[in-house]
Each structure stands twice: as structure tokens, then as C-alpha cells.
Amino acid sequence: MASSKSKSKSKAVVKRTSSSNTLTRILIAKPGLDGHDRGAKVIARALRDAGFEVIYTGLHQTPQMIVSAALQEDVELIGLSILSGAHLHLVKETLRLMKANKLNGVKVFVGGIIPEDDIKKLKKMGVNEVFTPGASMEAVVKRLSNLTE
């Protein structure tokens, strides 16, 4: 276990916002009734170890709670971890509330068990990245780093 921690820290990529010298802030949320948060916690830790500032909201968040937290925390990215199968509805509502609250510059990524056809629908809605089981932490960090450049 110790070797994997030191290994991930040695590959750390400190991400800073382009407008200031602060770390890129990412909100990780578990919308809906899904109670499995291990994947969200693994992603949150990997992003933190890569130099991002990560805010994890916990389980059972509503889209309104997620958008409210994003506003309060002044984040640049919102990550939604959804395993319940309700990803289309939850993402659509979250994006609607983001628009209503003028979170126009905030980018969204989604992780979970998502069918290929739904990935296309999510991207058409405005989701920037979709990660499915088996995505490497290096790939996640790289793709999210690219979103903040």
C-alpha cells in the first residue's frame, strides 16, 4: 500500500487555475439514492494526490444540493458518480440548475456504469468527460487536467 501512495505522489501534477495561483477546485458528488461511494472516494483521492483541491459532498445529493455546493465552493469542475442507472435524469437536472445559476464556465464529468448510447447522450447534453469502470487513474487525471487548461 505504501508503494502505491508514493508512486502516485511521484507522478503528481499540481494544477493551478489560469487566472490565479490557486489549485483547481473539483467537486465530487453522489447524486440520487445510490449508496455505493467507493469509486467516488478513489477518484477524489487520486485527484487530490495529483494536486487538485477536491471537495467531496458525500452520498444522496440532489442536483440542487450539488449546484449549491458548486456555487459556494467556487469550483471549476463537477464530477458526478452515478451507479443507479438514473444518470440521464440526474445529469440533465444538474445541468439545468447550473445554467439557471449561471455556472457557465464550470465543466462536468460523470463516472459510473453507463451504456455507450447514454455516453453519447450525456456528451450531447454538455458533459465534458465520461468515465466507466476500468478507467485508469492516470487517464482520469490527464483528461481532467486537459479540461482545466
Q: Name which residue leads in pLDDT, 128 or 34.
A: 128
In angstroms, the CA 11 to CA 66 distance is 30
Reading phi first (left if > 0) and then psi (alpha if -120 to 50, else beta), residue 80 is in: beta
Domain boundaries, the chain: 20-147
- pLDDT score, position 23: 87
* Contact present, 82 and 118 (Cβ < 8 Å): no
| Domain 20-147, CATH among 1.20.1250.40, 3.10.20.740, 3.40.50.280, 3.40.50.1970 | 3.40.50.280
Single out the residue of 64, 49, 69 nearest to residue 144, CA to CA: 49
Percent over 70 (pLDDT), the chain: 86
Residue 17 pLDDT > 90: no
**Binning pLDDT at 50, 70 and 90, where does residue 22 land?**
confident
* Contact present, 23 and 14 (Cβ < 8 Å): yes
Range 55-77 average pLDDT: 97
